[in-house]
Amino acid sequence: MTYQENIFAGKTALVTGATRGIGAAIANRLASLGARTIAAGLGASTDSLDPGIEVRVGDVSKQEDVDRFLAGLDELDIVVNCAGIIRRGDEHDPAVFEQVLAVNLTGTMRVCSAARGLLARRGGCIVNTASMLSFFGGSLVPAYSASKGGVAQLTKSLALAYAVDGIRVNAIAPGWIATPMTQSLQDDPTRSGPILARTPLGRWGKPEDVAEGTVFLCTPAAAFMTGVILPIDGGYMVA
């Protein structure tokens, strides 16, 4: 047991993009530690979620959907922004570029802004999802890279702005994680080989690896941390 059992008992958490992959792993981990957990997503299968997790369907690029994620909540302690899309090879089209930013960057801001009042009542925290591509570019994914660079800077800016409310704002920066979003790369030896060769820990990350880092940022152990972009990448960025 890494954390005290039920460390989040009495806490309420909202995780967006939580119906699969990293978001689902984070929602499951928060729930396993006692949080009332709300998983928000586009309505895909919820088979990845543990029983007892509440599901609210919607799109972070639509204000009315974000309002529905928060509807009826009197308390909110944790917000994790995991909603994200990638359109490899198509993002040089300005229309696609705008779509990706609308979800990954503006959607993150929309959720943070909507949740601020509730979080302020409880001295809560936000964890955004940046990426290793917040630090360097990707020729096939200019929109994803730009959006994740934006998430990193947004996180730092909101850490400053929300500190007056006692809200901490941090971000995780996942590396190469084995999720449906990276399945095509995992299945292609010519792409997967170089990724693993550069990763000092020698494997693809698991969604659970990212969930553990996220949970840490939500615990009292991180009480004096805000504005941090935490890489969870097996050492890829320093190799």
Q: Looking at the annotation, which residues are catalytic?
A: 144
Lookup: tokens for 227: 């504005």
Distance from C-alpha of 213 to C-alpha of 216, rounded to nearest angstrom = 5
Q: What is the DSSP string of 50-75?
A: PTT-EEEE--TTSHHHHHHHHTT-S-
Helices (H), 45-181: 63-70, 94-101, 107-122, 142-162
Lookup: tokens for 211: 């969930």
- Spatial contact of 232 and 174, defined as CB atoms under 8 Å apart: yes
Which residues, in sequence order, are CB contacts of 148 under 8 Å at separation 6+? 104, 130, 131, 133, 134, 173
